[in-house]
Amino acid sequence: MNARHKQNWAALSDVGRIRSHNEDAYLADPPLFVVADGLGGHEAGEVASQLAVETLRDHAPRRPDSNALARAVRAANREVIRAAREGIGRSGMGTTITAALVEGTHAVVAQVGDSRAYLMRGGTLTRITEDHSMVADLIRSGQITEAESRIHPNRSVITRALGTDPNMYADTFEIDGEPGDRLLLCSDGLTSMLLDTEIAKALEEHSDPAAAARELIRAANHAGGQDNITVVIVDLDGGTSASHGPRESERRLRGVVKVIGWLLLLALVVGGIGAATYRYARSRAFLITSGNDLVLYRGVPGDLGGLSLSWQLDSGTIAVSALSPAEQARLAEGERFDSVAEAQRAFDDYERRAPADVHF
């Protein structure tokens, strides 16, 4: 678990109980607070969410200005698209983003995807954002209920994200708060595990934001912890005014760390495929379709410097058209997993959900 907190805010992220990577990213740098949930294959999701948070930090206004915050989100979107095009991360990688700019009891929120913002006032929890997801659309059109959405096979399909559409825009919200109001930003790893009433209870019972954040993470893990869980809690009591940005020395240090990161990557590429890369590939797995054939490989899709790092383990025929468009797209490109066991489970699941039509 990694955590940051001050008297009137807390930020906490946990990998959960199933995933081996944390693809969520967050920022708590008053007056700016951000949660981002990376998508599109494990390593790439991490790159996308981190890049989006960093770009947003560099472009965000220092006052609650919703248009300026939305512009910063668009800059983050362009940056994720550019990075994928230049081969950083992976094409098709993306991220949600939910950002709040807080000044006293006034806040603006910009949001894309299914990471949410809530406002807690006097024991009542109100959802500020509306998820950009397939199940949210189905709930809005009356086709399924909130309870059904929690077990819907396409519950993780989101309809708007950073990293895919250059014309993407963020929804923005203004909060004219009162002292004592509490703002919560969170990834779907929290809201897919806990009902709003359970979230409200944790926020109500813990006046210390750090304690409330710990309790939310504990409860989400207790309920299954099926995804990465990130929570940012900000008490709107006037203590989060735009008093300071990142210090210049801190910015410079971050810049240096970034440059060292790129140099290491460059050394790895120039030096050829190292043992570490080989070991890494051996620990991974992916599923890919070719026509109606679903193939399970150990390794990573594509090749590195002309060298293929994949080994076929299993294959089968499925009815690819029975899967959602998002799943089809993912499988056509190669859906990545952290382990062979995880990929094997997904393989079995696809075979079960999209059995091939057998004609004699």
The contact set with Mg ion (CB under 5 A) reads 37, 187-189, 227
d(CA 100, CA 186): 11
Beta carbon nearer to Mg ion, 44 or 309: 44
Beta carbon nearer to Mg ion, 66 or 133: 133
Name the minimum Å distance from CB 252 to Mg ion.
32
Beta carbon nearer to Mg ion, 77 or 187: 187
Q: Give me 223's structure tokens.
A: 């309920």
Beta carbon nearer to Mg ion, 161 or 331: 161
Angle, nearest 10°, between helix axes 209-222 and 196-205?
140
DSSP state of 255: H
d(CA 136, CA 131): 6
Beta carbon nearer to Mg ion, 55 or 187: 187
Q: How many CB atoms lie within 10 A of CB 281?
A: 19
Name the minimum Å distance from CB 205 to Mg ion.
25
Instruction: Give the DSSP per-residue string, 270-311.
Output: HT-S-HHHHHHHHH-EEEEEETTEEEEEEEEEEEETTEEEEE
Burial of 224 (0-12, 13-18, 19+ CB in 10 A): middle
Beta carbon nearer to Mg ion, 102 or 199: 199
Q: In the block, which residue shows the tokens 């919200």?
A: 173
Name the minimum Å distance from CB 40 to Mg ion.
12
Angle, nearest 10°, between helix axes 42-59 and 66-85?
140
